[in-house]
A and B are shown apart, each in its own frame.
Chain A
């Protein structure tokens, strides 16, 4: 009897969650306006958009599925090197290279995920780290293919759709990244509001219970791990194409870590966490880090501790708390 009354309620909740709210236009309005308002900062803008896609990929596995990884840069780097090597060896068509990069990263995610997702806790954390370290060391030592520590040079990326050349001001790069981010957002939004996405949250909150109600836990975790890997790969490919260069840093622990930090600042386990955290972090970094990198590290470290101890929901979590408090006083 309960299932008959509960089912429509659950369906309605899913549908309600999926319905587009007015606020959700805001990121795209801001993204579009920024193109006209800050023509001198489009290169930074493109970096931010790429960072959002990367952070979104982390949000999917970490925020929604609860898989703690320190090696997401492995997939970012795999995508970057795929796009970079294609363009350096005569195939500079950006869109197909983007797809190829996503596919390579997804395959890597599928294979590595199938092996490592059987473990938990520190072991899983270590395995994700090991895979990204192995890839970085391999890319470092295979200098004849990847350019090693000097980075991959000689990329020739063709115009997007055969029309839009990558220009010095980063106009094409910015709009290109914005378009890809929009598609990534559509996909991520669909995933997190789908029954599949809800089951991921279920796995995060109580794995034993999800097993008990017959949810294929391992399979679901593997699927989202693969999808997130593809997201990260696409982000990496975008970075390679828009900067026409691939540095070893794309595979680094620092990149995985920075992605995590930006996500936690914005709000982990929320679709819009990356949209808040990444711009905040990267604009602040652009302002302050060049002037004094030592102070920057110090304050970021302190901020991280404060967020973890006092504001686990990040900026969006704080906003939620504030809204709730305002409603209560009214």
Chain B
């Protein structure tokens, strides 16, 4: 019982980080049809911004996290305008190779600027230690992750369902040409969506720095998990990746805890099976 509980707890915390990072990828892939393998770069960048601000300049945790969101979101707009834009509508191979090139440059850049070691992440005092819920004590920071993740997910869903910006995104995902012809500026919409997605990834990278350590290889190491979440969840969906992240987070934690001798094998096999069963993902449209 206690093993099941701790698998669920850590699995859900992990899932929140995976979701925050991957949701932007799902939307940009669904919106622009861009096979972007370099999305993890923005998550890593968010982690670096936060840890450098906290460790190097003594900036308080909430401010450092907010800075990660803003700085990375703004920087990603530049990257989108300079690079990604050129390859909208290009073949998959070009997009894959361009994003791999971006990963290589970011890995080398991070190593050059901040060295090969992982950036230490120390949660602030009020978030370290344990929270006692009566029947059991839980690590405070991970509990915070789950709550923060849930709040952000709710905000995101509300924003997409209730705001004009969200309606525009949904319209463009459904039918880009129709959206264009009724006067939605999809070019601008792409840029803003890309920035929002990257900003969310930065949030995920920063908040999740305690689970997925911030080191130069980050974007490559965890790439496969982000892609699994997006592919299993279904492209262009907001809800799909959430359930996919929960599935991946909990099963991966469970298998690694219960059957460590098989490592990540099961999560790959599960993904393979799910994608063969539903090639468009669980919530994707055919």
Contacts and interface: CB of A to CB of B under 8 A. Distances in A.
Interface of A: 62, 68, 70, 115-116, 118-123, 125-127, 129-131, 133-134, 137-138, 140-141, 253, 257, 260-261, 264, 268, 294-298, 300-305, 307-309, 312
Contacts of B97: 260-261, 264, 304, 307-308
B261 A141 contact: yes
Contact of B94 (A70, A120, A130, A308): A308
Interface stretch (B63-71, B99-107, B127-135, B192-200): B99-107
A297 B92 contact: no
Contact of B104 (A131, A141, A297): A297
B221 to A, nearest CB: 10
B5 interface: no
B272 A298 contact: no
B93 A301 contact: no
Contact of A300 (B83, B104, B264): B104
A297 B107 contact: yes
A179 B87 CA distance: 40
A154 to B, nearest CB: 23
Contact of A312 (B35, B94, B103): B94
A127 B272 contact: yes
26 contacts: A62-B93, A70-B96, A115-B276, A119-B275, A120-B279, A123-B275, A125-B92, A127-B276, A130-B271, A131-B272, A133-B268, A138-B265, A264-B97, A294-B111, A294-B112, A300-B101, A301-B100, A301-B101, A301-B107, A302-B101, A304-B101, A305-B105, A308-B97, A308-B101, A309-B83, A309-B86
Contacts of A119: 275-276, 279
A304 B35 contact: no
Contact of B108 (A123, A298, A308): A298
Interface stretch (B9-17, B168-176, B223-231, B239-247): B223-231
Interface in B106-138: 106-109, 111-112
Contacts of A307: 97
Given A68-B92, A308-B101, A140 B263 contact: yes
| 5 tightest Cβ-Cβ pairs between the two chains A and B | A301-B104, A304-B101, A301-B105, A298-B108, A297-B108
The interface residues of chain A, by DSSP majority, are classed as: helix
Contacts of A140: 263
A305 B82 CA distance: 11
Contacts, number: 124
A85 B280 CA distance: 38
Interface residues of B, number: 45
A59 to B, nearest CB: 12
Interface of B: 29, 35, 83, 86-87, 91-94, 96-98, 100-109, 111-112, 220, 224, 227-228, 230-231, 235, 261-265, 268-269, 271-272, 275-276, 279-281
Contacts of A257: 100
A303 B94 CA distance: 13
A122 B109 contact: no
A122 B108 contact: no
A60 to B, nearest CB: 14
Given A62-B93, A126-B275, A129-B227, A134 B35 contact: no
A126 B227 contact: yes
B275 A134 contact: no
Contacts of A116: 276
Given A122-B29, A123-B280, A304-B97, 4 more contacts: A70-B96, A264-B93, A303-B101, A305-B98
Contacts of B87: 308-309
A21 B282 CA distance: 52
A129 B224 contact: yes
Contacts of B92: 68, 121-122, 125
Contacts of A312: 94
A294 B279 CA distance: 38
Contacts of B107: 297, 301
Contacts of B108: 294-298, 301
A83 B35 CA distance: 35
